[in-house]
Amino acid sequence: MSDSTTRTQDLDPLVRSSLREAIIVSVIWFAAMTWSISVCWTMGYGRKPEELTLVLGFPDWIFWGIVVPWLTCTIVSWIFGAWFVRDGELGKDVEDADELGLGG
């Protein structure tokens, strides 16, 4: 087994889960950023005003480059949060502050 695989297996399950979630969210963010920049760049620059069309009241490059990815990310984030993100066991609740050694 590789060294990185061993280190990942040694992590607390809560940390491993949060790393997996962070990677998924980063991939979603990067995909949305790439889509927005590429669509807005190709559809928004170098066009004559008479070539612009409206989609649901938005200029076409704004609709396809901003509105669509934001709505998609909102839906994907909601699905991800509702079905895939789970609460992790954080350990025993502390009843008395003195158990923490705070002198309280």
48-101 pLDDT per residue, tens:
888 889 999 999 999 999 999 999 999 999 998 888 877 777 667 666 656 556
At residue 36, the pLDDT reads 95
Q: Which residues pair with 58 in a beta bridge?
A: 55
The percent of residues above 90 in pLDDT, for the chain, comes to 42
- Rounded to whole angstroms, how far apart are CA atoms 29 and 32? 5
pLDDT of residue 85: 79
Tell me what the mean pLDDT of segment 9-34 comes to: 87
Query: Does 3 score more than 80 pLDDT?
Result: no
Amino acid at 18: S
Taking the domains of the chain in order of start, what are their residue ranges? 12-84
